[in-house]
Amino acid sequence: MYRYFKTIRLFWSTAFASQLEYQLNFLIELLAMLGTLLGSVFILSLFFTGGRQLGDWTWESALVIQGVYTFLDGLTNALLRPNLTEIVNYVREGTLDYVLLKPIDSQFWLSVKKFSFAGLPEIILGLSIVFWASFQTGYSVSIYSLSVFIISLFFGFVILYSVWFLIAASSIWFVKTWNATEVLRALLAAGRYPISAYPVILRFIFTLVLPVAFLTTFPAKAILGELNLIILFFGLILSSLFFIFSRLFWKFALKHYTSASS
């Protein structure tokens, strides 16, 4: 276990050093992020014109969802995108062989090798919105609701990671998976809004098939102290299933892997 922590520390400090060279990039990312957030909040506000609500969510509580989405998006940009989009290149260039030879779990190595620090401001801003907006609803955050929030957020992230990793792992057969990732990203955008605002069929799909609800709506409910513990338990099962499946799938994919050079 200690070995894994040490590896992460080494990976990320190298990443930090190399990214210090691209300060302009960092600035552009920051601007794009602020613009995106401003735009999303503006579009969200249109749903509330004339004192309306969105799927029984008030303006302040809908902002909590927006904050959770921003946080997860930041985590995606910092960790998932830089690592999982690289898998395709390893397969194409045959360098996956070197990864497989390393005395460390290959899925772990591929998932944490890089860390994009440009995602950090979004992570911080997302969390700030969550706490500010939940404070605005008049609800005071307790240690209990905070811990349920963290746990449900963790389950959500595991689901997100597993789905993304599954698509990335399929590059062993298809090589180009960039477009499939775009489809996933487009569907995940649905998480910007409360699941209860969607028609019934989509609510079902976003809860059980592609569990977008566990990514944003449920953690937002958790911090507002409204999350049913049964749902939390359900999240535990669902995220475990997704994670186990991603590992089994990776093992299966590796059996079918023939190196690019052979």
Partner 1 sequence: MRIFGLSFKVIKTLLTTQYAYMLEYRIEIALWALSGVLPFIMFSLWSQSDVGNSFGLNDIGLARYFLSAFLVRQFSVVWVVFSFEEDSLSGRLSPYLLQPLHPLFRYVASHLAEQATRLPFALAIAITFFILNPSSFWLPSLPQVFLAYLSTHFAFTIAFLLQSLVAALCFWTEKSSALERLIFVPYLFLSGLLVPLSAFPSNVLKVAMLTPFPYLINFPAKILSGMQVDIFNGFLAQILWISILIPSVNILWKLGVKRYTAMGA
Q: Which is nearer to partner 1, 143 or 209 (CB)?
A: 209
Q: Rounded to an integer, what distance in angstroms lies between the CA atom of residue 53 and that of residue 49?
A: 9
Which amino acid is it at 58?
Answer: T
Q: Which is nearer to partner 1, 13 or 25 (CB)?
A: 25
CB burial of 133-143 (b: ≥16 within 10 Å; e: otherwise) equals bbeeeebeeee
The interface region with partner 1, picked from 24-32, 65-73, 96-104, 240-248 by CB under 8 A, is 24-32
The interface region with partner 1, picked from 13-21, 31-39, 84-92, 234-242 by CB under 8 A, is 31-39
Among 10, 20, 35, 252, binds partner 1 (CB under 8 A): 35
Under the criterion CB under 8 A, does residue 193 sit at the interface with partner 1?
Answer: yes
The interface region with partner 1, picked from 130-138, 195-203, 214-222, 228-236 by CB under 8 A, is 195-203
The interface region with partner 1, picked from 52-60, 108-116, 133-141, 226-234 by CB under 8 A, is 52-60
Q: Rounded to an integer, what distance in angstroms lies between the CA atom of residue 158 and that of residue 241?
A: 10
Binding-site size, partner 1 (CB under 8 A): 36
The interface region with partner 1, picked from 12-20, 94-102, 193-201, 235-243 by CB under 8 A, is 193-201
Phi, psi of 21 (to 5 degrees): -75, -20
Q: Rounded to an integer, what distance in angstroms lies between the CA atom of residue 174 and that of residue 114?
A: 23
Under the criterion CB under 8 A, does residue 51 sit at the interface with partner 1?
Answer: no
| DSSP codes, 10-69 | HHHHHHHHHHTT-HHHHHHHHHHHHHHHHHHHHHHHHTTGGG--BTTB-HHHHHHHHHHH
SS3 assignment, position 173? helix
Under the criterion CB under 8 A, does residue 197 sit at the interface with partner 1?
Answer: yes
Among 186, 209, 229, 230, binds partner 1 (CB under 8 A): 186
Q: Which is nearer to partner 1, 94 or 233 (CB)?
A: 94
Write the CB contacts of 193 (distance below 8 Å, at least 6 apart in sequence): 44, 47, 54, 55, 62, 65
Under the criterion CB under 8 A, does residue 257 sit at the interface with partner 1?
Answer: no
Report residue 161 CA to chain centroid gap.
6
Q: What is the dihedral of CA 100, 250, 239, 68, to 10 degrees?
A: 70
Under the criterion CB under 8 A, does residue 121 sit at the interface with partner 1?
Answer: no
Residues 161-180 that bind partner 1 (CB under 8 A): 176, 178-180
Residues that bind partner 1 (CB under 8 A): 22, 24-25, 28-29, 31-32, 35-36, 39-40, 42-43, 46-47, 49-50, 52, 54-55, 176, 178-180, 182-183, 185-187, 189-190, 193, 197-199, 202
